[in-house]
């Protein structure tokens, strides 16, 4: 969780001058208004249990495609489901359906009742080339840069537009 989200929060804090307070030893990020973002792992039942006994307005489970049915159901139904009740809160899961096309996140992405589905492609990520404005200029704009990049990916890998890896990871 810290490797994925922490750097993005730190960048956002610098850009927007939010005044976030990063507590590396606990995985907490405290906001000036008193709110807290808690980053924790969930690779085992024991790690998931660290979320017990608290109340949350929002629980975000990132890279949800990696969790087995057992851990995912335990997280969402037995630990965080009750923990969002006080606020009538939300459990949000994000990720990319895995190549095996199985698992709880895959089920959600294919219309599992009780979940709303929102999706986007790489072209919706307007921050994609922030670190390379020269690349965007070279191609004449953001969308043109993405098209060029994706074309290069397909050529390098010998993928057609309908290759499962291309569709899953980029579109």
pLDDT digits (tens, 9 = 90+) for 143-164: 999 999 999 999 999 999 999 9
Q: What is the pTM of this model?
A: 0.81
Is there a contact between 39 and 6 (Cβ–Cβ < 8 Å)? Answer: yes
Name the DSSP class of 98.
-
CA dihedral 133, 136, 141, 143 (to 10 degrees): -120
**pLDDT tens-digit profile of 51-100?**
999 999 999 999 999 999 999 999 999 999 999 999 999 999 999 888 88
pLDDT of residue 98: 86
Residue 40: what pLDDT? Answer: 87
pLDDT tens digits, 17-28: 999 999 988 889
Radius of gyration of the chain (CA): 19
Furthest CA-CA distance within the chain: 53
Categorize the per-residue pLDDT at 139 as very low, low, confident or very high, splitting at 50, 70 and 90.
Answer: very high
Residues 34-43 pLDDT 10s? 999 988 889 8
Mean pLDDT of the chain: 92
pLDDT at 120: 86
Q: Is pLDDT above 80 for 1?
A: no
């Amino acid at each position: 969780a810290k490797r994925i989200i922490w750097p993005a929060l730190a960048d956002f804090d610098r850009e927007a001058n939010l005044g976030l307070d990063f507590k590396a030893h606990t995985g907490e990020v405290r906001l000036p208004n008193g709110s807290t973002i808690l980053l924790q792992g969930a690779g085992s039942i024991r790690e998931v249990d660290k979320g017990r006994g608290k109340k949350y307005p929002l629980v975000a489970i990132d890279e949800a495609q990696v969790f087995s049915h057992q851990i995912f159901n335990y997280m969402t139904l037995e630990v965080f489901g009750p923990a969002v009740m006080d606020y009538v809160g939300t459990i949000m899961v994000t990720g990319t359906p895995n190549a095996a096309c199985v698992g709880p996140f895959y089920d959600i992405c294919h219309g599992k009742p009780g979940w709303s589905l929102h999706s986007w492609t790489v072209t919706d990520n307007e921050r994609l080339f922030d670190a390379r404005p020269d690349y965007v200029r070279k191609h004449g704009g953001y969308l043109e840069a993405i098209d060029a990049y994706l074309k290069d990916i397909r050529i390098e890998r010998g993928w057609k537009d309908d290759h499962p890896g291309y569709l899953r990871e980029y579109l």
